[in-house]
Each structure stands twice: as structure tokens, then as C-alpha cells.
């Protein structure tokens, strides 16, 4: 008898539920600015790295290439990002924030950070650090 473990003990489902609980706090902020979660991940990655290729963004943001292409188009229409061909390799698209995109990021970031701080206050900094370490280890299995 090899019964499946209970849902409480399922890693994928526990990860999903935990993420939902956390996102319930951040989602209103993001959607309030007319952004989807995925679009915000892209903006945030670009704010941190200045310039990334589509392949790098797909890896960092956990978004498939065709979805990314559409997100690029949407964010480009909103004038939040810009695309250009890489000088070194003509196949590569180099994506970066526009000035307007940077301004939007700077407006949202401190509010997001405030929500993180509240979370830390409730769960404890150590608990969150341990969790992040475990999650990043899991990511590289």
C-alpha cells in the first residue's frame, strides 16, 4: 500500500497556498496600478538588473517566452519598458525600463517594502530568512 500523502504534507500544494496567502497582501497594490503579477515581476527584475534579455527574464520571472513577448508588447504600449537589439548578438533582444517605468517602480517599491516589513513583524525576521534559504535550495534541486 503506497497511499499518497495528505494534502497538508504535499509540497506543491503547500507552496501554492503559502504563496496565495502572501500574494493576498501584495496583489491589491499591484493591480491597483493596473499591472498583473507577471508584469510586475518583469518590471521588478528590470529595476534590479537595468538590462536583461528575454531569455534571462524568462528564467528570472518564471514566465514562458510567448507569454513574455505579449507582456513586452503590453508594457511597451504603456511606455514602461523599451526593447532593442543587442549590439553584440543580433538575435538577442535587450529589454530595459523607460524613465516612466522607473518612476512607476519607484512609486510602488516603497509601498511593497512596507508590506514586507509588516510580514516580517508578524512572522519574525529569522523565520522568513530560514524560509527563503530553504526555498532557494529547493529551487536548485
Partner DNA sequence: TATTGTTATACTCTATAACTATA
Partner DNA sequence: TATAGTTATAGAGTATAACAATA
Residues that bind DNA (CB under 7 A): 27, 31, 36-39, 53-55, 62-74, 83, 86, 89-93
CA distances 22 to 106, 112, 137, 140, Å, are 21, 12, 20, 22
Q: Does 17 bind a second copy (CB under 8 A)?
A: yes
Q: Which of 34, 77, 126, 141 binds a second copy (CB under 8 A)?
A: 141
2's contact among DNA, a second copy, none, with CB below 5 to 8 A by partner kind, is a second copy
Query: Which 20-39 residues touch a second copy, going by CB under 8 A?
Result: 20-23, 26
Contact between residue 53 and residue 86 where contact means Cβ atoms under 8 Å apart: yes
Q: Which stretch binds a second copy (CB under 8 A): 5-13, 68-76, 79-87, 89-97?
A: 5-13
Q: Does 128 bind a second copy (CB under 8 A)?
A: yes
Rounded to whole angstroms, the Cα distance separating 124 from 14 reads 20
Residues 63-82, mask of contacts with a second copy (x by CB under 8 A):
--------------------
Nearest to 42 by CA among 105, 134, 87: 105
For DNA, which is the closer residue by CB, 87 or 126? 87
Residue 82 C-beta: closest distance to DNA, Å: 12
Contact between residue 13 and residue 7 where contact means Cβ atoms under 8 Å apart: yes
Q: Which residues contact 18 (CB under 8 A, 6 or more apart)?
A: none
Query: Would you give the DSSP letter of residue 8?
Result: G
Amino acid at each position: 500500500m503506497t497511499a499518497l500523502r495528505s494534502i497538508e504534507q504535499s509540497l506543491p500544494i503547500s507552496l501554492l497556498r503559502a504563496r496565495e496567502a502572501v500574494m493576498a497582501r501584495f496583489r491589491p497594490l499591484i493591480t491597483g496600478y493596473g499591472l498583473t503579477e507577471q508584469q510586475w515581476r518583469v518590471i521588478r527584475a528590470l529595476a534590479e538588473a537595468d538590462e536583461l534579455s528575454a531569455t534571462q527574464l524568462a528564467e528570472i520571472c518564471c514566465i514562458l517566452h510567448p507569454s513574455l513577448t505579449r507582456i513586452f508588447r503590453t508594457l511597451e504600449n504603456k511606455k514602461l519598458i523599451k526593447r532593442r537589439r543587442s549590439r553584440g548578438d543580433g538575435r538577442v533582444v535587450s529589454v530595459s525600463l523607460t524613465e516612466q517605468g522607473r518612476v512607476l517602480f519607484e512609486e510602488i517599491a516603497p509601498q511593497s517594502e512596507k508590506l514586507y516589513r509588516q510580514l516580517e513583524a508578524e512572522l519574525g525576521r529569522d523565520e522568513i530568512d530560514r524560509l527563503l534559504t530553504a526555498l532557494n535550495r529547493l529551487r536548485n534541486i
